[in-house]
């Protein structure tokens, strides 16, 4: 098993930046592909970005391409989501997730989830 804890959320003005972190503990972190998802009030959870076990491959939702960057540091057991040029519609709870198979966009393929961190973007 792996335990995931997100941090780095907060309130930011439109156009600003935040970096989310997700710290993992438990089994070997490099054995997991990682993903970021988000859920806004009244909406379904949606895929944001994913990264392969050693960071060689990444995958993004169209609405964050060019603004968000996913990365990982396996020595620190941490995955990051750098979010730039934030928009009010990026307001959501952001979750990181892990799975042993691949860097998928479907949340059902992820086995482990963090508790989430709130990101609020004001206009």
Structure tokens at 41: 């009030």
What is the C-alpha to C-alpha distance for residues 121 and 37, in angstroms, rounded to an integer? 17
Write out the E strands in the chain.
2-7, 10-13, 18-26, 33-39, 46-51, 58-60, 68-73, 78-83, 92-99, 112-113, 117-122
Segment 15-57, tens digit of pLDDT: 999 999 999 997 789 999 999 999 999 999 999 999 999 999 9
The whole-angstrom separation of Cα 5 and Cα 25 is 9
Q: What does the alpha-carbon distance between residue 13 and residue 123 come to, in Å, rounded to a whole number?
A: 6
Mean pLDDT of 89-107: 93
Give me the pLDDT at residue 79, please.
98
| Geometric angle at alpha carbon 85, from 121 and 68, rounded to 5° | 100
């Amino acid at each position: 098993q792996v335990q995931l804890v997100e941090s780095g959320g907060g309130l930011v003005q439109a156009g600003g930046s935040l970096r989310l972190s997700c710290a993992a503990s438990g089994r070997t972190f490099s054995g997991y592909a990682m993903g970021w998802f988000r859920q806004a009030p009244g909406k379904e959870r949606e895929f944001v970005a994913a990264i392969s076990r050693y960071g060689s491959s990444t995958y993004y939702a169209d609405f964050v391409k060019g603004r968000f960057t996913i990365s990982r540091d396996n020595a620190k057991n941490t995955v990051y989501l750098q979010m730039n040029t934030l928009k009010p519609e990026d307001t959501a709870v952001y979750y990181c997730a892990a799975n042993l198979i691949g860097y998928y966009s479907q949340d059902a393929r992820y086995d482990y989830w963090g508790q989430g961190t709130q990101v609020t973007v004001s206009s």
